[in-house]
């Protein structure tokens, strides 16, 4: 079922966030704060939100700047805004987090992020390490520091030639197109998202999905990655925080889940002691839209209930 009508949440950055909310259908345990991925929108998480509501969770999900129905100065679809804007995106997440605290004081908040949203969630944890009771990091196509710096060099050249507020021509070939080629017998350019053709078709037919990010948006995405790659990124995050890492064994954007395993090893080295990692074999990028989504949602709810108590 779709979300109810969203509300508009003004933020200190001047963003008018489109915020979707699904309230728990039984005694509330906690709040799940959802961060969606690149070139999609929060409305696509309605099925997940409805499932979680039945398990006793409130769900808040907003459209990031440059996505969906959110509006921000200088940030049309495909752009986070002029100049370096990664920190503003994180500030918008904080605005939603504070709205949750005002609406549901005392309830723990579990941060959830998929793909680019997982990168944003990790940046939020780095900037606000004491805000969340747990974090679920799903399908994060994390670049190493070397890869991120190389990507920004490519984009600097492209920005010189084309400008900053136009879609990148190079990055889609290195990401989306390459990921499609990695899927055997792909029928559409988006089969790397899911094995479920109905879900892929819904994505293709959604006017708020599948567009090409601007040069500047890609630069901001690499800034998310550079922040995460920094040695002290999680220095202030408590080592006992529950962290769930999820990937697809056939997700080309995370090299079959090996990127998630790499993050797991890093967090172990840094002393994190409450990790749960699940790599769903044969699953592609969008776990919540995969053929095994019911199991994945149930696994998430079981993990989240342990946090909520």
Domains and CATH numbers, the chain: 7-308 (3.40.50.1820)
Q: How confident is the model at residue 285 (pLDDT cuts 50, 70, 90)?
A: very high
Q: How confident is the model at residue 188 (pLDDT cuts 50, 70, 90)?
A: very high
Separation between Cα atoms, residue 302 and residue 305, nearest integer Å: 5
Q: Please state, in angstroms and as integers, the Cα–Cα distance from residue 112 to each residue in 163, 199, 249, following that order.
A: 33, 21, 20
**pLDDT single digits (tens) 8-59:** 999 998 999 999 999 999 999 999 999 999 999 999 999 999 999 999 999 9
Separation between Cα atoms, residue 158 and residue 57, nearest integer Å: 44
**pLDDT single digits (tens) 208-245:** 999 999 999 999 999 999 999 999 999 999 999 999 99
pLDDT above 80: residue 173: yes
**DSSP for 63-123, written as a single string:** PPTTSTT-B-TT--TT-S-SS--HHHHHHHHHHHHHHHHHHSTT--EEEEEETHHHHHHHH
* pLDDT (mean) for 190-203: 98
pLDDT above 80: residue 1: no
Q: Average pLDDT, whole number, for the chain?
A: 97
Q: Please state, in angstroms and as integers, the Cα–Cα distance from residue 123 to each residue in 47, 199, 220, 227, following that order.
A: 26, 29, 12, 7
Nearest Cα to Cα of residue 298 among 308, 287, 309, 285: 287
């Amino acid at each position: 079922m779709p979300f109810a009508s969203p509300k508009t949440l003004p933020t200190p950055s001047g963003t008018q966030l489109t915020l979707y909310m699904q309230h728990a259908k039984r005694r509330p345990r906690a709040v799940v704060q959802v961060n969606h991925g690149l070139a999609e929108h929060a409305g696509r998480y309605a099925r997940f939100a409805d499932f979680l509501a039945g398990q006793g969770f409130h769900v808040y999900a907003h459209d990031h700047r440059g996505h969906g129905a959110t509006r921000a100065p200088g940030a049309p679809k495909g752009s986070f805004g002029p100049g370096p804007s990664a920190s503003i995106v994180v500030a918008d997440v904080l605005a939603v987090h504070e709205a949750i605290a005002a609406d549901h004081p005392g309830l723990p908040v579990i941060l959830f992020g998929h793909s680019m949203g997982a990168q944003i969630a990790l940046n939020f944890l780095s900037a606000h390490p004491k805000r969340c009771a747990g974090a679920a990091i799903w399908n994060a196509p994390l670049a190493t520091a070397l890869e991120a710096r190389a990507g920004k060099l490519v984009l600097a050249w492209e920005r010189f030639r084309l400008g900053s507020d136009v879609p990148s021509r190079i990055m889609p070939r290195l990401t989306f197109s390459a990921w499609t080629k990695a899927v055997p017998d792909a029928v559409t350019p988006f089969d790397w998202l899911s094995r479920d053709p109905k879900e892929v078709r819904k994505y293709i037919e959604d006017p708020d999905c599948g567009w090409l990010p601007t040069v500047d948006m890609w630069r901001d995405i690499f800034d998310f990655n550079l922040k995460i790659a920094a040695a002290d990124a999680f220095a202030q995050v408590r080592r006992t925080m529950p962290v769930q890492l999820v990937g697809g064994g056939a997700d080309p954007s995370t090299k079959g889940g090996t990127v998630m395993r790499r993050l797991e090893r890093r967090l172990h080295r840094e002393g994190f002691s409450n990790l749960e990692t699940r790599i769903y074999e044969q699953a592609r990028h969008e776990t919540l839209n995969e053929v095994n989504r019911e199991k994945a949602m149930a696994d998430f709810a079981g993990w989240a209930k342990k946090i909520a108590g």
